[in-house]
Structure 1
Amino acid sequence: MENEFSLELWKRLTEAPGAPGFEGPVRDIMKEYISQYTNELVYDNLGSMFGVMRGDENGPRIMVAGHMDEVGFMVTRISEKGFISFQTLGGWWGQVLLAQRVQIITGQGVIQGVISSIPPHVLSDDQRNRPMDVRNMYVDIGVDTREEAERLGIRPGQPILPICPFQVMANPRRIMAKAWDNRYGCSLAVELAKELHERPGHPNVVYVGATVQEELAGTRGAKTAAELIQPDLFLALDASPAGDIPGVREEGGKLGNGLLMRIYDPMYVMPVGLRELLIATCEEEKIPYQIYVAKGGTDAGVVQNHGKGVPSAVIGIPSRYIHSHASIIDTADYEAAKRLLFSIIRKLDRQTWESILPR
């Protein structure tokens, strides 16, 4: 069983609502924690937030970031009968949506509802044999008119989030929650700030926190955060699809087999020098890792192209069922990622940083 600090942190972060563009509740939690470890907080104008952990001012400037946002939805229209149409925010597969509970965050509070489904008794043969288009789904909040929905505070433009309580599973290493993509990275960022506060003396300056709007096309917060920080090196902390479930080709990581060492995705090729440093560290310290080739991108693909170029890597973990209502991680993988992150930050002095640059 994990320590109480980690369990409380994970529960608070995963249960907080944070659709792309609506990350405020997650940012508030991260600010509460990180401000205990540094009084120097910086923000970009989209809402990304970082604590500055000052070690050796002559060392490299390292940006370490999860992303606050999770896949969600946005209210677009309320029908005359009070049914709510929505726009997806981030990548959803329509078949994971029907009959799932959701919450709409309004100015007056949280309204719960369910995504429409048609009972099998009344489906035509044609409807049975093809998936429902997301554009034909709606949220039912149990009212009969648009006016009732509006009196509850519902308006177009408000975020809609999945509902999934934090749950330690039968195997206590496995934890189910919504938004492990990417509250994993947010929680690990908090733990790094705590570590550097309690054990000062790192040979660099670390900006540790999280970006916004990663799940939308363009990984937007990473661009503005890199402009704010001007990093010499970037470490993205992100969760990726596990490949250890029935019906999935075993291309992704397996839960419990260690952190994910992402060497390629469509936006990114891991720099050779940084790859060798990370793998050597894992080998020397017996940290379990899995080589990972990804189909989707992360903030690393954006930050690496900032300015003259920023050596970037992703320290990841596998998570089952990401981009759905409920996802599962193995805490052993989280611990492996934490060990590598803490170790590499201690190693990255000016000389080590220069040694990984292509010269």
Structure 2
Amino acid sequence: MKELLKKLSESCGISGFEENVREIIKDELDGKVDSMETDIMGNVITTHKGVEGKPSVMLASHMDEIGLMVSYIDDEGFIRFVKIGGINDQMLLNQQVYIQTEDGEVPGVIGSKPPHITSAEEAKKIIPYQNMFIDIGANSKEQAEELVSVGDAIVFHTEFRECLNDLVMGKALDNRVGCAVMVEVMKQLDDVDATVYGVGTVQEEVGLKGAKTSAFKLNPDMAIALDVTISGDHPGVKPEDASVKAGKGPVISLADASGRGLITHPMMKKLLIEAAEAADIEYQVEVGDGGTTDATAIHLTREGIATATLSSASRYIHTPTSVVNMKDVEDTVKLIVEFLKRL
């Protein structure tokens, strides 16, 4: 499973450009599910057909990652950009990136005014992304435009690495972790009577868009959004602000965005906890006041869908490099399979 996560992490797929991730999922599940399709939005929907009369379950994992997009090329060949998804400006500076073009990847680095000529007053402030640019080595607008076009996607260049204590680091673990979990679950459904839809959704980071359309199409009886959540086990984070920790098991979210997002359906909470305890899987529960997941869009579809969110705790979410514990990821697969078998 680690090799699958590495492959997913190092693939490129900002919101609206998820095709590389989608192809990995399709290749992994080819011949292992009963059907597979890609809808108009770009969601990939894989299906395990269950026994008639048994419930249907949607497992939703968003394929997109945060990133940038080319918005302008100046006369000297430097590239300006906009942010796609939630990104803090301070973590952008000097990052290596790839610009995805029709002819392949163009490497670059995010630059700005150097510190040697920055005033003391300027040095105290975070440089806004509008004052940054991407340097691909071009010496003119014309030379840059031979390689890059306005609208091209820009992805952070980060290698997947193994660390101590079952930890791994890499790009886009939000939410390639969820994609890896969904793929592995779909491979293990031989003893499951429920109909299970494994869905790789698009454009979650910019409005939960793919979840809205795919949930409307499928209209399942219940759903689980597979994602990552903030790990509170490193300096600078108070336990009361982020109580879950990497390595302490899958995280069952009871509410996110202070209830403005998802408030987990009581039945789903009960069934997930029962499954974890039956399989002797260590788990954590979380109530958050920050972000949300595809579950927010799914549970409000049509007449309403009983929905929950199951996550792995991740350090440094929404940066070019985040960290998760592989045991948490593997135990999330075990928990979901147990949940499905018990339906």
- Fold shared, TM-score > 0.5 on shorter chain: yes
Whole-Å Cα distance in 1 between the matches of residues 39 and 301 of structure 2? 15
Whole-Å Cα distance in 1 between the matches of residues 103 and 249 of structure 2? 43
Determine the structure 2 residue equivalent to 1:206: 196
Of residues 281, 298, 301, the one that matches 2:275 is 281
2:113 aligned with 1:118, yes or no?
Answer: yes
Contact kept in structure 1, 2:181 and 2:330, CA below 8 Å: no
What are the equivalent positions in structure 2 for 1:17-36 lying under 5 Å apart? 17-36=12-31
What are the equivalent positions in structure 2 for 1:199-348 lying under 5 Å apart? 200-216=190-206, 218-250=207-239, 251-252=241-242, 253-266=244-257, 267-294=261-288, 295-348=290-343
Whole-Å Cα distance in 1 between the matches of residues 4 and 42 of structure 2? 20
Determine the structure 1 residue equivalent to 2:47: 52
Contact kept in structure 2, 1:30 and 1:190, CA below 8 Å: yes
Whole-Å Cα distance in 2 between the matches of residues 293 and 336 of structure 1? 20
Contact kept in structure 2, 1:35 and 1:51, CA below 8 Å: no
Whole-Å Cα distance in 1 between the matches of residues 46 and 19 of structure 2? 16
Whole-Å Cα distance in 1 between the matches of residues 287 and 111 of structure 2? 36
SS in 2 for 1:195: coil
SS in 2 for 1:308: coil
Determine the structure 2 residue equivalent to 1:103: 98
What are the equivalent positions in structure 2 for 1:177-216 lying under 5 Å apart? 177-196=170-189, 200-216=190-206
Q: CA deviation at 1:286?
A: 2.1
Q: Identity over the aligned pairs, expressed in percent?
A: 37
Q: When the two structures are aligned, how many residues end up with a matched partner?
A: 337
Whole-Å Cα distance in 2 between the matches of residues 22 and 182 of structure 1? 14
Structure 1 runs of 4+ aligned residues shifted over 3 Å read none
Contact kept in structure 2, 1:19 and 1:72, CA below 8 Å: yes
Q: CA deviation at 1:172?
A: 5.2
Letter in 1 for 2:152: Q
* Cα shift readout 1:249-275 (whole Å, capped 9, x = no counterpart): 223321111111111112110111211
Q: CA deviation at 1:8?
A: 2.0
Letter in 1 for 2:247: G
Determine the structure 1 residue equivalent to 2:88: 93
Letter in 1 for 2:245: K
Whole-Å Cα distance in 1 between the matches of residues 24 and 267 of structure 2? 35
Gaps of 5+ in 1: 1-5, 349-359
Gaps of 5+ in 2: none
Contact kept in structure 2, 1:203 and 1:347, CA below 8 Å: no
RMSD of aligned residue pairs (Cα, Å): 1.2
SS in 1 for 2:80: strand
Q: 1:108 to 1:43 in 2, by over 3 A?
A: closer
* Cα shift readout 1:315-334 (whole Å, capped 9, x = no counterpart): 10111111111111011211
Determine the structure 2 residue equivalent to 1:163: 157
Whole-Å Cα distance in 2 between the matches of residues 44 and 24 of structure 1? 12
SS in 1 for 2:21: helix
